[in-house]
Amino acid sequence: MAQNTDLYPILRSYANKNHSPYVAIDSFIDVLGKTAKRNVGDHPEWTRWVDDTALKVWEDLTPLVEDGHCQIIDLDGSSRILLLHFYVELVQQSWQNLDAQADLPFYDENSFQVPFPQSRIRPVSVEFDFPSYIEQPQESILPIIKLIFPGNLGNTLVLANMIPSPLMEAAILKIRNLMRSHNNKEYFLHKLIPAFQGKETQLREALNQIVVKPFEALRIMRDSGEFIFLFWAYFNNLLKHDINQKKEPLPAETGALQSVYIIEVFNNYYKGIAVRKKEQELALKNLELQLGKPPFLYTLDDIIKFVDHKGIPLLGQYSQEALEHYLKTKTTEAKEDELPEMLIVHGLQDERWFVKKIRMLPLCARLLADARVRIRRAISKRWLRLLKQYQNEYAMDNDEEFEKLLQKYLYELAPTLGAVLGDQKLYLAYCELEKVQGGIPESSRIYIDGVLIPLASLLLIRRKDILTDTRMLLPFWYTVPIISEIIAFFKNWGKQRNLKKRRRQKEQDAGEEDLLPAKQSDLQQHRLRAAAQELRDSLIPDGYTLDSYLALLHDRWNRLLGKQAKKNLTEDIHSLIRDRLRHTLRIQPNAVLTEASFSRMADKIIMDTPTLSQLSAQDSLKLYIQLYMVKNILNIKFSGRS
């Protein structure tokens, strides 16, 4: 028995000696004990098995069974150990010396002289099933794979980790063995030359490669160049035709014919990989070309929908993983002191656009051109409306105020342009391009000394031009100063008086008392204030006041870049909350507000308002709404209490 005194090697040695995976436990224990006593003098490591042999065997069997090395079964009324890897080791041993087996067919199931349990064998037809198997091979070496050759060529047993090597190596050696005998190489050369007119040198080299460096021939096959694929296709057909013509082929010829079927499968497999790789490379080049075309910026959803010139989606010609790897590589890898080839621009609402670095300035120019018309039209309409009402605004007469007005419309009408201009990567790409080109033309400059030039210059919109063009659309008396000033005085005087009257009425109607119903008992008012105080204490963390925590939450959900747009959004939400709170307190004057009811009211406000439901940081927005309701309730001057 083996000198390794661990239990599993001893079991394997015992099973191999008896040529059976089944080990009778009682007999094994008896033999182990006798062997230990016989060897302990020369090998002290056997001391472990001298005494209490049975107890120690059962102790060591438990972890072996748990790890899947063996099973305990009852067979013929006695307990036996089934070594699960016995058959695996037999198959492994049969593939140890490939050169010695080169002039024989592959070992088949009967060559082992041990019946293999069919539950541990997976039959795979070389002609029909093997191509799909190598596309999705099994990971475990169990069950053992039985490759079934066409016709009466038999089968061979192989493990999953032997595919493609040493299976292909055994196949190429059997083919080489056949070519070496009886001057077969020259015969094959003579037969194949008509199919490779003009490529005789390559043909001769391919045949020599099989004979002299067979494993190098396999490596070249894996690369699957056009010539090598055709060579193996013709060579396989020729070899199959010649051997199939013989009534009683020699063992070496049978082995070579089996090998041809195996090589044929792998030749087609590697060709398929090469074709798919080429298609993927072509599709990725197509992708890169499309990313450089207008409109220059694309979301991931846009990229997924790209098609080729035939209208076939590019996703499919390359895999999802290949696309993700391409985008990750293009947006992260870069030379020292340079930006990556592709940049990610973040929009105002968490959009992500992919833009090629060299297209950042053309993109900016395109967005400016698109925004110029919309913004100019919007300001013109605004001023036309004001002038018709004999009104004015600071932006008409002041360049600084006009710049603020442009910024307001920029984020309202051209948010994408606002995101691009506000992204630091635009400036970095601009500086890099300026360094490469040695300067940017004056007409294309968007930065001066590292500062973005004014929007009026970027958009080519002049305040005076808009004002002049707008006034030309008005009747002539609007342009006569004395007449227009007199009309404006009386018109605006009446409006101002009505405006003040409406403002006083609105302040009276919308006062803090207006949140409450006309009649509400002291007890109901006390409950309302108590509920608001309780919610305030439970929601505000230590170290914050109500106003400071509201300010923190406000910065989390209101991420608009424009100051005026940010302010307008806040005012709209405050008005919405007050209206909803006023409505609730009026239609349910006796309701007891709890933390749950405040939460439901906040959810209702968000769900009923599409603008709010699209904002990011929903948790912060919901908490802000609840605390703002609390603040409004606590600011109410309740009657009948101190």
What is the reported pLDDT for 437?
A: 64
Q: Select from 636, 635, 629, 633 the least CA-distant residue to 550.
A: 629
- Mean pLDDT (whole number) for 382-397: 84
Contacts of 91 (CB under 8 A, 6+ apart): 144, 157, 158, 159
| Token representation of residue 91 | 């198959």
Where on the phi/psi map is residue 543: left (φ > 0), alpha (ψ -120 to 50), or beta?
Answer: left
Q: Select from 370, 536, 361 the least CA-distant residue to 459.
A: 370
Distance CA(333)–CA(429), nearest Å, equals 15
Instruction: State the pLDDT confidence band at 350, using cuts at 50, 70 and 90.
Output: confident
By CB atoms closer than 10 A (0-12, 13-18, 19+), residue 172 is: buried
Of 339-343, 455-459, 486-490, give the lowest mean pLDDT range: 486-490
Q: Select from 326, 350, 351, 352 the least CA-distant residue to 340.
A: 326
- Mean pLDDT (whole number) for 38-60: 90
Q: Residue 313: is the preceding peptide bond cis (ω within 30°)?
A: no
By CB atoms closer than 10 A (0-12, 13-18, 19+), residue 401 is: middle
| HSE toward the beta carbon, residue 335, CA cutoff 13 A | 3
Residue the block writes with tokens 């109607």? 509
CATH class of 7-84: mainly alpha
Distance CA(65)–CA(52), nearest Å, equals 21
Instruction: State the pLDDT confidence band at 507, using cuts at 50, 70 and 90.
Output: very low
What is the reported pLDDT for 589?
A: 62
CA angle 381, 382, 383 (to 5 degrees): 95
What is the reported pLDDT for 558?
A: 82
Longest dimension (CA), the chain: 131
pLDDT for residue 476 is more than 70: no
- Mean pLDDT (whole number) for 172-185: 89
Instruction: Tell me what percent of the residues of the chain surpass a pLDDT of 90.
Output: 47
Instruction: State the pLDDT confidence band at 434, using cuts at 50, 70 and 90.
Output: confident
Rg, C-alpha atoms of the chain: 43
CA angle 19, 21, 27 (to 5 degrees): 85
Q: Can you give the pTM of this predicted structure? A: 0.62
SS3 422: coil
- Mean pLDDT (whole number) for 107-126: 90
Distance CA(263)–CA(214), nearest Å, equals 12
| Token representation of residue 591 | 């309701």
Distance CA(190)–CA(202), nearest Å, equals 14
pLDDT for residue 594 is more than 80: no
Q: Order the strands of the 342-346 sheet from edge to edge.
A: 297-298, 352-356, 342-346
- Mean pLDDT (whole number) for 173-197: 91
295 and 367 Cβ atoms separated by less than 8 Å: no
Contacts of 61 (CB under 8 A, 6+ apart): 7, 70, 72, 81
What is the reported pLDDT for 579?
A: 82
What is the tens place of the pLDDT at every residue in 279-295? 999 999 999 999 999 99
What is the reported pLDDT for 293?
A: 93
Q: Taking all residues of the chain, what is their mean pLDDT, rounded to a whole number? A: 85
What is the reported pLDDT for 512?
A: 44
What is the reported pLDDT for 205?
A: 95
Domain extent listing, the chain: 7-84, 87-291, 292-474, 478-509, 512-634
pLDDT for residue 82 is more than 50: yes
36 and 50 Cβ atoms separated by less than 8 Å: yes
172 and 214 Cβ atoms separated by less than 8 Å: yes
| Token representation of residue 567 | 């302010």
Cα dihedral 252, 258, 264, 267, rounded to 10, equals -70
Answer with the residue of higher pLDDT: 444 or 88: 88
3-state secondary structure 28-55: HHHHHHHHHHHHCCCCHHHHHHCCCHHH
Distance CA(32)–CA(13), nearest Å, equals 11
CA angle 497, 503, 507 (to 5 degrees): 150
Distance CA(168)–CA(215), nearest Å, equals 9
Instruction: State the pLDDT confidence band at 569, using cuts at 50, 70 and 90.
Output: confident
Answer with the residue of higher pLDDT: 75 or 10: 10
- Mean pLDDT (whole number) for 240-256: 93
- Mean pLDDT (whole number) for 527-534: 81
- Mean pLDDT (whole number) for 133-151: 91
